[in-house]
Amino acid sequence: MKRNFILASMILSILALSSCNNSQHQQAAQGPMPFPVESATKSNVTVYNEYAANIEGEQNIEIRAKVDGFVDKIYIDEGAEVKKGQMLFKLSSQTLNQQVNAAKANIEVAKAQLVSAQVEVDKITPLVQKNIISAVQLQTAESSLNAAKAQLIASQANYMNAKENLDYTFIKSPVDGIIGSIPYRIGSLVGRSEAQPLTTVSNISNVYAYFTLNEKQLLQFNRQLNGNSIASKIKELPEVELILADGSTYDHKGKIETINGMVNPRTGSISYRAIFPNPANLLRSGSSGKVKMPSIENNIIMVPQKATYEMQGKKFVYLVNKENKVQAKEVSISTSIDEKFIVQNGLNEGETFVTDGLIKLREGMLIQPMNQKHSPEGNAAFSKK
């Protein structure tokens, strides 16, 4: 029995060895597995950086009452388009009308006093010339005449001031624009001391987009521009785009107009202002978006994101050596652009790496490299995510 068992075991071992040899011979006949590879090359890339922006109208003018009074009429509604000089509000004017009438009456009184003072001077002058009366009386009369003239000027000024205050009860738009919120209603008492304005008129024919860069971004950005002064650098700046709140790109491109002269010490950032045309009034004051600004990255190496894998928070690529064996290599990534990574360290120009199928690879594995076609070198454009 024992002899039969030993014989059966020997037969099974021979069959297993034969099967293994057949498998190895079959694998050797197939050869190494093919994998797509690519050689690392340096190129200049136009990168589009996005910065959160606040949008404001070219003019945001608060409409305030210059005189105290009750709101009699409101001629516009919130969100309405208005033209320069268009009526917005009418304030009560009864008291101011009385002040205008009183000031006008004071002018007539002053004129009468002036006439009387002039008559007195005309009467005394020949008498003084004939030495009938003293010259002191003439001087007194002339002083009264001068006082009457001054009183008339003061009365006229008071009338103009009262009339101007009356005109202030008719509140008109100083610019073309869009009406903001109206916190007051008919009958509300308003005046110069009110915290809230009657409304706001926003001139949005052009809009400003305000955004910030940190110090590192500012230095990097400035090194790419020619010119020694801020004005000369601004002239070198390319046009920028605006990404709206719904993710769409605004139809019109803008231009950076100003760069703040100081870095905010609390945030370490500096503010930029770009201007965009707004012919269709699509953009409104207070809205938000993202300014998309191009910058050039010189002599950089980019790899497809699928050509990397992550382990313990680090990223790796598989390099291919002269024997067509793969070797894992850690790389340092600076940023992601579309479906590619910008490699900061770890990959040198000319080195070959596997671009796809990394899950099938193992350290030291022999592969069959399949070269991919390279995209044309030179300037390419990408957007940061």
Beta bridge partners of 295: 47
Instruction: Say which residue, 348 or 374, is predicted with more confidence.
Output: 348
The CA distance from 53 to 59, in Å, is 17
Residue 233: its pLDDT value, please? 74
Share of residues in the chain with pLDDT > 70 (%): 87
List the single range of 22-31, 65-74, 275-284 with lowest mean pLDDT: 22-31
| 340 occurs within a structural domain | yes
Q: Tens digit of pLDDT for each residue in 269-321?
A: 888 999 999 998 899 888 999 999 887 778 899 999 999 999 999 999 999 99
| 1 occurs within a structural domain | no
Q: What are phi and psi of 73, to 5 degrees?
A: -140, 145
Name the domain boundary from 142, 164, 190: 190
Beta bridge partners of 384: 337
Instruction: Say which residue, 49 or 332, is predicted with more confidence.
Output: 332
Q: Which residues contact 127 (CB under 8 A, 6 or more apart)?
A: 133
Q: What is the mean pLDDT of residues 63-76?
A: 94
Instruction: Say which residue, 138 or 322, is predicted with more confidence.
Output: 322
Secondary structure class of 297 (helix, strand, coil): strand
Q: Is the pLDDT confidence value at 372 over 70? A: no
Is residue 53 located within the same domain as residue 88? no
CATH code assigned at 375: 2.40.420.20
The CA distance from 44 to 131, in Å, is 105
Q: Provide the domain count of the chain.
A: 3
Name the domain boundary from 156, 190, 224: 190
Output DSSP code: residue 359.
G
**What's the pTM?**
0.62
Q: Quick one: pLDDT band at residue 95, thresholds 50, 70, 90?
A: confident
The CA distance from 285 to 258, in Å, is 19
Answer yes or no: are the C-beta atoms of 319 and 35 closer than 8 Å.
Answer: no
Q: Is the pLDDT confidence value at 242 over 90? A: yes
First to last CA, the chain: 75
Is residue 223 located within the same domain as residue 316? no
Q: Which residues contact 290 (CB under 8 A, 6 or more apart)?
A: 50, 51, 52, 53, 211, 242, 243
Beta bridge partners of 89: 74, 171
Is residue 70 located within the same domain as residue 186? yes
| 264 occurs within a structural domain | yes
Strands 33-39 and 367-371: parallel
Q: Please state, in angstroms and as integers, the Cα–Cα distance from residue 229 to each residue in 56, 85, 98, 245, following that order.
A: 27, 41, 60, 34
Is residue 263 located within the same domain as residue 176? no
The CA distance from 35 to 150, in Å, is 102
| 225 occurs within a structural domain | yes
* CA neighbours closer than 13 Å in the CB half-sphere of residue 273: 11
Name the domain boundary from 294, 324, 358: 294
Is residue 287 located within the same domain as residue 329? no
For residue 114, count other CB atoms closer than 10 A to its CB.
Answer: 19
The CA distance from 339 to 19, in Å, is 45
Secondary structure class of 358 (helix, strand, coil): helix
Q: Which of 86, 67, 69 is nearest to 77 (CA)?
A: 86
The packing angle between helices 135-167 and 94-129, to 10°, is: 160
| 17 occurs within a structural domain | no
Q: Is the pLDDT confidence value at 103 over 70? A: yes
Is residue 173 located within the same domain as residue 120? yes
Q: What Rg value do the Cα atoms of the chain yield, rounded? A: 43
Is residue 180 located within the same domain as residue 70? yes
Is residue 303 located within the same domain as residue 349? yes
Q: Would you mind telling me the total number of residues written for the chain in this entry?
A: 385
The CA distance from 123 to 127, in Å, is 7
Instruction: Say which residue, 92 or 382, is predicted with more confidence.
Output: 92
Pull the structure tokens for residue 348.
Answer: 């040198």
Is residue 243 located within the same domain as residue 359? no
Q: Which residues contact 383 (CB under 8 A, 6 or more apart)?
A: 47, 48, 50, 292, 337, 338
Is residue 37 located within the same domain as residue 95? no
Structural domain of residue 353, as residue ranges? 31-47+298-383
| 119 occurs within a structural domain | yes
CATH code assigned at 79: 1.10.287.470
Q: Is the pLDDT confidence value at 375 over 70? A: no
Is residue 175 located within the same domain as residue 219? no
Instruction: Say which residue, 12 or 114, is predicted with more confidence.
Output: 114
Is residue 177 located within the same domain as residue 81? yes
| 13 occurs within a structural domain | no
Identity of the residue numbered 214: N
Answer yes or no: are the C-beta atoms of 360 and 318 closer than 8 Å.
Answer: no
Q: Which of 178, 179, 199, 177 is nearest to 188 (CA)?
A: 199
CATH code assigned at 248: 2.40.30.170
| 212 occurs within a structural domain | yes
